[in-house]
Structure 1
């Protein structure tokens, strides 16, 4: 009967729980789902991570390739981010070209990476104007149940934190490139960035780490990325305006959450560094 009520009247079903200061999965408004991190699980990638929050699962694989630098940044490498939301992760996505949501997620994750300044692209330069590293970061969602931006960012950060690149020498005169696959060095990173998503109902109810059902029924959503103790990105995905007190509460909670998730990532990646 409970499942039928959820299908027929999903909003009333959710409101019934919210009225009791509870959520359908048993969490209170400020409780997060458990986090699972598994790094270096894809052997064909230079670095990888399976990041899971609740049911939402994202696989990140990074492939590093040598290329000529962009004309406007001759002393910098570059990063190409792509988020894939295939039909396997949710019935809401169909086969074919990337959906609007996948394109939006790609843009958001790319902007979070850029704004966080976690990676100095000059560290990816081998020879100015001639040779740089390009990092292709593919993020594939295999189970979509809300807060997908948070999971994508977590997977990307963990993968970057375990990325080791081979030493490369380039002779400008002979244009000869020599790669030393045995000698590998980690990519220097600054403080790991963490994203946290919130959903608001009316002007008084705020929940963290919403599921897909909660996101679809919420009046507004906001994702906040925190690097160290500073916000580096905020994205509000349409909906109604969010009350100022809820925004302030979200920022405070996002900073606390960032510290906890950062420790989890550092613990998970430590055994795989410099290997």
Structure 2
């Protein structure tokens, strides 16, 4: 059995799919267990580790002071970077960020920016603001890093605590205040759920690495705190019908409850 799986991995997976089951034993609509640990990096202002099945993502947020954009004098900055290195999977090569990592970074940044109150990063209007840099690193890759990365970022932002600082009016130097750190204001949480069209016939939730190798299309559904749809993003050439998309949105609502519980523990 193991020899056949190594030599013919696609056909091996297909034998399970035709029996309405998955190699992992999960049902098609079943997501993997989600575990979140906040504050996992002591040197970061905010951090979180997310484990989703065998996929592990760590997000660390560092904060620096800088001058604001002249057009947005009361707004700070937030940048995101997703790292997928050979350390997490042999499918990634050393060197510049892969296309997958760059696309993930850009899409997550577009999603998270409206969810964060950037005015809460203002220290003194027109003079000093916080610049946050969120590094989201894959420690172990077993599929669906986008969901894990988004959840890790949201959890790290909830864990973020910025030092109390003030600007000396005489010198303009930023000094540490006597007060403890302050929490960042998050406008809304994001709750992702990704579905994959495997072997052009089977729609599965939260595909693992082996299933992704057979995926012709994927659909990311992101909901907010109120269960409202924030984003639907289809990738790949496979065809996903409107009825199927509607089913995915309904399944994403159930997944939202699971993520909420994990964030609250």
Range into which the TM-score falls when normalised by the shorter chain? over 0.9
Per the alignment, residue 230 of structure 1 pairs with 228
Q: Is structure 2 residue 139 aligned with structure 1 residue 131?
A: no
Q: Mind listing any 5+ residue stretches in structure 1 that lack a counterpart?
A: 268-275
Farther off after superposition, 196-205 or 46-55 = 196-205
Q: Displacement of 1:18 after TM fit?
A: 1.0
1:202 to partner: Cα distance? 6.4
Contact 2:58 2:136 in 1 (8 A): yes
Match of 1:270 in 2: none
Partner of 2:182: 185
Q: CA deviation at 1:259?
A: 2.2
**Per-residue deviation, residues 49-70 of structure 1 (Å, max 9, x unmatched):** 1111000001111111111112
1:200–1:220 CA contact under 8 A, matched in 2: yes
Calculate the aligned-residue CA RMSD, in Å: 1.6
1:195 aligns with 2:172: no
Partner of 2:7: 8
2:257 is aligned to: 259
TM-fit CA distance, 1:172: 4.9
Give the SS at the match of 1:65: strand
Of 76-85 and 196-205, more deviation after overlay is shown by 196-205
Post-superposition Cα deviations, 1:50-98, rounded to whole Å, max 9, x if no partner, equal 1110000011111111111123322100101011001011111111111
Once the two structures are superposed, the pairs formed by residues 1-275 of structure 1 within 5 Å of their partners are 2-114=1-113, 117-172=114-169, 174-180=171-177, 182-201=179-198, 205-228=202-225, 229-267=227-265
Shift of 1:6: 2.1
The number of equivalent residue pairs is 264
Q: Distance in 2 between matches of 1:173 and 1:260?
A: 51
Q: Does structure 2 retain, via aligned residues, the 8 Å contact 1:198–1:209?
A: yes
Helix, strand or coil at the partner of 1:5:
helix
Runs of at least 5 residues in structure 2 that lack an aligned partner in the other structure:
none
SS in 2 for 1:108: helix
Between 169-178 and 212-221, report the one with greater CA deviation.
169-178
Asked whether the 8 Å contact 2:200–2:238 carries over to 1, the reply is no
Task: Give TM-score scaled by structure 2 length.
Answer: 0.94
Asked if structure 2 preserves the Cα contact closer than 8 Å seen for 1:203 and 1:242, the reply is no
> Contact (CA 8 Å) 2:116, 2:188: kept in 1 or not?
no
SS of residue in 2 equivalent to 1:249: helix
Worse-matched range after superposition: 143-152 or 185-194: 185-194
1:27 positional shift: 0.5
